[in-house]
Amino acid sequence: MFYWPYGEIFLDLGFIVVYWYGFLMFIGVLIGFLIVYFLFKKYKVEIDLLYTLAPYLIIGGFAGARLYHVLNEWQYYVQNPADIFLVRQGGLAIHGAILSGVMIVWIFARKYYSSFRHLNITSSKSLFLFLLDVFAPAVAIGQAIGRWGNFFNQELYGKPTSSMFSVYIEPAFRQAGYEQFAYFQPVFFYEFMGLVIVFIILFYMHLYKIKNKSLVRWGSIGGWYFILYGVLRSYMETLRIDSVPYILGLRLPFVVSFIFIIVGCFIIWYINKRGINKDIW
């Protein structure tokens, strides 16, 4: 059974308070950055380009994640606009971070593709696909670490369960209609494990390509990220009981995750059908 009775605060020094949620977000971003740094080095990409891109991705991803969450909970925030800026205890949506990150990478690719010609990258489209590949495992492991922030906040749990493998949720954090239950499915842990597996698959694909100089076209690894995470998150949405907007009777995150699957399939089909990066690396 999962249970943390000591609250959401990781460190309280009086003049500064650090929450578990924010601390784990920082750790996730840091480890993700190190993964990308490692891959940039292996692919012999000028590391200064990563330093140029990283701040925009971090700030833009954070803003996108918050904006997506606010739009999901618009009825609440339109009545409490000051709460839009209160993010220390949660309220970030990974779908928003991914969407904003993709847009930032596309803008970056249009400006810097000429710096990647040694990888047979001769267009902004090719660089965009390369960056999707490089950031895919970093995003997956960052998400996995961040899911433990949901545990400390006592959120992201599923339906009630009598199983010993469960998470105890204190009464103040139980969803409306489930106040009489104490133990719930630890969906945060399911997704954590799933994301670790996704990370291992994607990172191994990079290592295989680097070692064998194999014909793995840019965009394939990024495409598989969208597919694997889309499948994982779609399933997680069938277990969750938190309140979200619905579209045609389906949870909005489920719909967006299903779109991710379609996007991933399209990327892989497109780069193979159109012969993009056929003579890569």
Query: Would residue 27 count as lying in a domain?
Result: yes
Task: Summarize pLDDT for 213-272 with one digit per residue, the tens.
Answer: 666 678 899 999 999 999 999 999 999 998 888 888 999 999 999 999 999 999 999 888
Query: Would residue 172 count as lying in a domain?
Result: no
Query: Would residue 23 count as lying in a domain?
Result: yes
- Report pTM: 0.90
Query: Would residue 182 count as lying in a domain?
Result: no
Residue whose tokens read 């990172």: 203
CA dihedral 157→158→159→161, nearest 10 degrees, is -70
Query: Would residue 164 count as lying in a domain?
Result: no
Query: Would residue 62 count as lying in a domain?
Result: yes
What is the residue range of 267's domain?
14-79+91-155+187-273
What would the two tokens of residue 47 be?
């590391």
Query: Would residue 106 count as lying in a domain?
Result: yes
Residue whose tokens read 């740094």: 37
The residues, ordered by sequence, that sit 6+ positions from 85 with a Cβ below 8 Å of its Cβ are: none
Task: Summarize pLDDT for 94-136 with one digit per residue, the tens.
Answer: 889 999 999 999 998 888 776 666 666 667 787 888 899 999 9
d(CA 127, CA 160): 46
Give how many domains the chain has, as a whole number.
1
Query: Would residue 260 count as lying in a domain?
Result: yes
**Positive or negative, the Cα torsion across 146, 147, 148, 154?**
positive
The residues, ordered by sequence, that sit 6+ positions from 62 with a Cβ below 8 Å of its Cβ are: 92, 97
